A and B are shown apart, each in its own frame.
Chain A
């Protein structure tokens, strides 16, 4: 059967050179079959050996970022010899097709998901196995887990985004004279308003909030909020504040001469003044560490849902110069932010 699939691939490869899109579709189909076969084969080999703890890692997709997270996770496990942990990796698509089901007699000891789609797919199955959802935004986990903060023995999370407190402190450290922080909240992100207020107060900042219901009100809202704010904190929202609107956000605030604190490295590249974010490698490393901790103490429940322990600060020097702002060095800010955060990874 495998041979047949391979032949099909080779045959179709030739067709592709002739450039028909049908051939491309057929190739993708064949490749999928091949991957499915490989997954089944792997399952057969590893299933019986998983005597210690089998960890099923479900990744949202095979993107470079997810692969990087996975690689960092493996690396951090590899640092410790004979962990007794076996990793089995499948994509969310594969999990849907052929993953374990609640009715299965033998289930993995732990399921780790990487990404929102992976968490959504796995949680939907309601497996009676502990599930550690990682590499997803806090808001997505909160929505999936039906109410954030509620501790569930079989379910926990390691978020990808940064706690508001950390973002506020970065603003305080990098922009000491800019004490009024503006945020524009959308239909989803407005759920965080209370948390934002709290974080602002503890950092000694004043929060100004403007709410919008759709993308078409964003520029107007930015103008209004920046009349009374010194810096904009970008809070992602699937409908209003996202990659599609980054251009409007950055151009509008820049024309008003106000800096933006973004939530990703890409936001800084695009034109935000600074961001604090965690790289896939940093998340992967922490997942590995959490797994080892869990393994050391069998029977111990999952760690509480928490924010990343490792993070980086990025600064756009050109934007800083153009706005006449001196936020300091990224390394220095990361260090000072980490000092303040020590021992408080679950903020």
Chain B
């Protein structure tokens, strides 16, 4: 009898692990004579299930650092917060992070900055989606409207306030935004969303997901349109699609494949301009990414990742007729204007997490990157320009005692533009009492110059053949050094009550070699003797404090407060860096379930006076967004209908006081989830 029951289990196990058929048949044959009586018995749970040893799955090297032990200040934005904020654009959720500014230069160019130092291309932040950097190698910064990602597919967003080159690589300068999308097995079945609102808002999302644990997939496609600021030609029509597949070839392996695509026209130009009259810019943005994670028997982990980003903007047109000024011949001609830009990024990365005994953990890795930019209008050459970049990084986490954790590490990088650099870090976290931790640390990072800064060259020719120069706009003298940051901070993370957590931090960031664009290139042969150049001219000292308070009296009742006090002292040679961040800013998000699936939320933002680099000052900004949502069931589907009112307090200057003034917006959004 016992032999036969063992045999039955053996057979079950064989099926489960897909043993070769021959072996299974062999087992069947051997077991056949005595297993007959068991044929009708259900599989029984053995006591062994409760007694047998299991391999350690969550080994020391696999355990993530909790916030209290992390070597940096982290703000987490989860799905509930994203929904409650009423955001329709990804860029908008960062208003919830202390120290962040979000401004819309126009309807599709959203500026997300941290501690200022941002113009319409906010270059001093790193942004990653599932480990893939979406930082544009051409302009720098992130083109938020061109990301092929739907808010509905985002699992969570972590914002590291402060540099973190050791973990996230180049350009993890003032802060790092780390977006994680949902696992494809997490959403089975279908999902549809439709949004309609003022300002010509018409959005739709359609998602299908399926498969099983061996291979699961998700396919999301969507459309988004709005009229931007209304009075301006800054509307956008976005069509996007993305897919994700998660496969598990073995128990120890995960393979993740993703692709995405975003395209459509974006309105540009302004009425009355001769060379920048209203026209469309055609955007095509796509990527592919594959990541393989392998768990070693020792508990260590190896991951390999490769991705390819492609971003293209087609914008070639003739100017309206312009009469040439003296000393040029008095002709009236149309200039050919070429703003076409195509940038590509190939990136490969290896990462290895090693547990070195009970108290030490090492994460190290290496990466290689090729950026290729084809930008004839701005780089002075029709040929693509390559920029190669390599990095090597390592972080050692040492649990010196029950209370003290030391993180130390460095990144070595080699850039084709700036050569070699090392960015070290040393951070200590000390637990005073359970639930109260102090953090003190020094970390550094670099920002690599982008191609327009290193070799920008734009001239407008009267005739395309010989190029009689009408105007030289950019003329970069090159030889730039990376910008460097040395960040010192003192932080506290504590649980003030079971439902209240507080995160407090004082910081002092010394930024040197700020790459400043200025009208500083002199050449007598140029029509007006000058052109725009980029040099490492300015430096800035950013000091201040940040506070984040989270109160959650109930599951669906939360209050999240963020406050930042920022002071920038700068040389301000060519840009008003010292005015580029508000002295005080605040965000307050409250959400509450009123019962019966009715959810209400409100977000209030305050931003003191500030000036984006190269723009007019914007005054105090007070913004209130409201959302009311009702969950319901319709046959087998789960639904939610929500009404969102943004900017309820009325007109607000968002980016500059001339033409980026946000008005009230309202929209209704309905979604269904079905199996």
Residues in A lying within 8 Å of B, measured CB to CB: 60-61, 63, 65, 91-93, 96, 114-117, 120-121, 124, 135-137, 139-140, 143-144, 160-161, 176-177, 179-180, 188, 215-220, 223-224, 227, 230, 236-239, 242-244, 246-248, 250-251, 254-255, 263-264, 266-267, 269-271, 277, 280, 316, 318-319, 321-324, 326
| Contact between A219 and B47, CB atoms less than 8 A apart | no
* B34 smallest CB distance to A (angstroms): 9
How distant is the Cα of A264 from the Cα of B45 in the complex, in angstroms? Answer: 14
With contacts A176-B498, A271-B57 known, is A216 near B45, CB below 8 A?
A: no
Contact B555–A238 (Cβ < 8 Å): no
Q: Mark B56-67, 1 if CB is under 8 A from A, else 0.
A: 111010111111
Which of the listed residues B58, B64, B65 has the most CB atoms from chain A within 10 Å of its own CB?
B58
Check: B465 CB closer than 8 A to any chain A CB. Answer: no
Is B249 part of the binding interface, using a Cβ–Cβ cutoff of 8 Å?
Answer: no
Contact A243 B2 (CB under 8 A): no
Closest chain B residue, CB of each to CB of A238: B43
| Residue of A239, A250, A321, A326 with highest tally of chain B CB at under 10 A | A321
- The CA-CA distance from A33 to B354 in the complex, in Å, is 50
Q: CA–CA, A250 to B49, complex, Å?
A: 16
B68 within 8 A of A: yes
In the complex, the answer to whether B2 meets A215 with C-beta atoms within 8 Å is no
Asked whether A60 lies within 8 Å of B2 as measured between CB atoms, the reply is: yes
Contact of A326 with B434 at beta-carbon distance under 8 Å, contacts A177-B498, A218-B213, A277-B50 already known: yes
A contact patch SS: helix
Partner of B186 from the list A115, A224, A230 (CB cut-off 8 Å) is A224
Closest to B66 in A: A324
Closest beta carbon of chain B to A321's beta carbon, Å: 6
Contact A143 B44 (CB under 8 A): yes
Residues of B within 8 A of A (CB): 1-3, 5-6, 12, 16-17, 37, 41-58, 60, 62-69, 182-183, 185-188, 211-214, 216, 248, 251, 434-435, 498-499, 555
Are B50 and A271 interface neighbours, CB within 8 A? no
Q: In the complex the two chains form, is A65's CB within 8 Å of B51's CB?
A: yes
With contacts A117-B5, A216-B213, A254-B58 taken as known, whether A238 is within 8 angstroms of B53 at the C-beta atoms is no
Min CB distance, A280 to chain B, in Å? 7
How many Å lie between the Cα of A239 and that of B44 in the bound state?
Answer: 10
Q: Are A264 and B50 in contact, CB atoms less than 8 angstroms apart?
A: yes
Q: What is the CB-to-nearest-CB distance from A190 to chain B, in angstroms, rounded to a whole number? A: 12
Q: Given contacts A277-B50, A321-B66, is CB(A250)–CB(B185) below 8 Å?
A: no
Q: Would A216 and B54 be within 8 Å (CB), given that A121-B2, A323-B66 are in contact?
A: no
Contacts A188-B43, A326-B434; is A120 near B1 (CB within 8 Å)? yes
Q: Which residues of A contact B51 (CB under 8 A)?
A: 63, 65, 264, 266, 280
> Do residues A264 and B49 form an inter-chain contact, with CB atoms below 8 A?
yes
| B60 A243 Cβ-Cβ under 8 A | no
**Residues in B whose Cβ lies below 8 Å from that of A180:** 555
Q: Are A321 and B69 in contact (CB under 8 A)?
A: yes
Q: Is the CB of A269 within 8 A of B64?
A: no
Question: B67 touching A136 by the CB < 8 A rule?
Answer: no
B46 touches A219 (CB 8 A): no
Distance of A55 Cα from B421 Cα, bound (Å):
78
Closest to A325 in B: B66
Q: Which of B12, B45, B212 contacts A217 (CB 8 A)?
A: B212
Total cross-chain contacts (CB, 8 A): 168
Q: Is the CB of A160 within 8 A of B50?
A: yes
| Contact A238/B45 with A220-B212, A247-B55 known, Cβ cut-off 8 Å | yes
Pick 19 A–B contacts, CB within 8 A, sort by A: A92-B1, A96-B2, A115-B46, A116-B46, A137-B46, A143-B42, A219-B248, A220-B186, A224-B188, A244-B16, A254-B58, A264-B50, A264-B51, A266-B53, A269-B53, A269-B54, A323-B66, A324-B66, A326-B434
B156: nearest chain-A partner, CB-CB: A257
Give bound CA distance, A114 to B212, whole Å.
Answer: 38
12 more contacts with CB within 8 A, not counting A61-B2, A264-B51, are A91-B2, A93-B2, A137-B45, A139-B45, A143-B41, A188-B42, A219-B183, A220-B185, A220-B211, A264-B49, A266-B53, A271-B56
Task: Kindly list chain A residues whose C-beta atoms are within 8 Å of the C-beta of B435.
Answer: 326
Q: Are A215 and B16 in contact (CB under 8 A)?
A: yes
Which chain A residue lies CB-closest to B6?
A117
A93 to B5, CA, bound (A): 11
Residue contact A322 to B57, C-beta cutoff 8 Å: no
CA distance A248 to B57 in the complex (A): 9
Interface of B is mostly: loop
- Residues of A near B1 (CB, < 8 A) are 92, 96, 120-121, 124
- Of all A-B residue pairs in the complex, the 5 with the closest CB atoms, nearest first, are A271-B58, A223-B186, A220-B185, A216-B212, A270-B54
The answer on a CB contact under 8 Å between A270 and B55 is: yes
CA distance A255 to B130 in the complex (A): 13
Are the CB atoms of A140 and B183 closer together than 8 Å?
no
Asked if A318 and B63 sit within 8 Å, CB to CB, the answer is yes
Contact indicator A116/B44 (Cβ below 8 Å): yes
Contacts of A242 on B, CB cut-off 8 Å? 49
Closest to B76 in A: A257
**How far in angstroms is the closest Cβ of chain B from A130?**
21
Residues in B whose Cβ lies below 8 Å from that of A179: 555
Nearest residue (CB) in B for A137 is: B45
Say whether B50 contacts A137, CB under 8 Å: yes
Which single residue of chain A is at the shortest CB-CB distance from B493? A324
CB distance from B534 to the nearest CB of A (A): 42
The winner among B1, B3, B52, B434 for most chain A CB atoms within 10 A is B1
Docked CA distance A187–B229 (Å): 57
Given A223-B183, A323-B66: A270 and B57 interface contact (C-beta under 8 Å): yes
* Cβ 8 A contact of B47, one of A136, A267, A316, A319: A136
Whole-angstrom distance between the alpha carbons of A52 and B183 in the complex?
Answer: 64
Q: Is the CB of B58 within 8 A of A144?
A: no
**A220 with B213: CB separation less than 8 A:** yes
A contact residues around B212 at 8 Å (CB): 216-217, 220
Given contacts A92-B1, A216-B212, contact A247 B251 (CB under 8 A): yes
In the bound complex, residues from chain B placing their C-beta under 8 Å from that of A188 are 42-43, 45
B188 to chain A: closest residue by CB: A220
Tell me the minimal C-beta distance from B538 to chain A in angstroms: 40
Contact status B56-A144, CB under 8 Å: no
**Known A219-B185, A220-B186, A270-B54; contact A160-B5, beta-carbon cutoff 8 A:** no
| In the bound complex, CA of A136 to CA of B5 (Å) | 15
The smallest beta-carbon distance between B140 and chain A, in angstroms, is: 32
Given A177-B499, A179-B555, A215-B16, residue A270 in contact with residue B47 (CB < 8 A):
no
CB–CB A140/B214 < 8 A: no
Q: A117 to B2, Cβ gap below 8 A? A: yes
Q: Are B65 and A266 in contact (CB under 8 A)?
A: no
A158 CA / B248 CA spacing, docked (Å)? 40
Asked whether, in the complex, the Cβ of A248 is within 8 Å of the Cβ of B44, the reply is no
Q: How distant is B325 from chain A, measured CB to nearest CB, in Å?
A: 63
B186→A267 contact, CB < 8 A: no
Residues of B within 8 A of A243 (CB): 48-49, 52, 54
B188 to chain A: which residues have CB within 8 Å? 220, 224
How far is B216's CA from A98's CA once the two chains are assembled, in angstroms? Answer: 52
User: Which residues does chain B contribute within 8 Å of A91, judged by CB atoms?
Assistant: 2
CB distance from B496 to the nearest CB of A (A): 14
**Given A215-B16, A324-B68, also A269-B44 (CB < 8 A):** no
Known: A177-B499, A243-B49, A247-B55. A140 touches B44 (CB 8 A): yes
- Given contacts A266-B54, A326-B434, whether A239 and B43 have CB atoms under 8 Å apart is yes
Measured between beta carbons, the chain A residues less than 8 angstroms from B3 are: 93
Q: How far is the CB of B287 from chain A (nearest CB, A)?
A: 23
> Across the interface, which residues of B come within 8 angstroms of A263, CB to CB?
49-50
List A contacts of B183 (CB < 8 A). 219, 223, 255
* A227–B41 CA distance with the chains assembled, in angstroms: 36
Contact of A319 among B2, B53, B58 (CB under 8 A): B58
- CB proximity of B189 to chain A, nearest CB, Å: 10
The verdict on A248 contacting B53 (CB below 8 Å), with A117-B46, A180-B555 known, is no
- Cα distance A220–B217 in the bound complex, in angstroms: 11
Across the two chains, which residue of chain A brings its CB closest to B78?
A: A257
Residues of B within 8 A of A280 (CB): 51
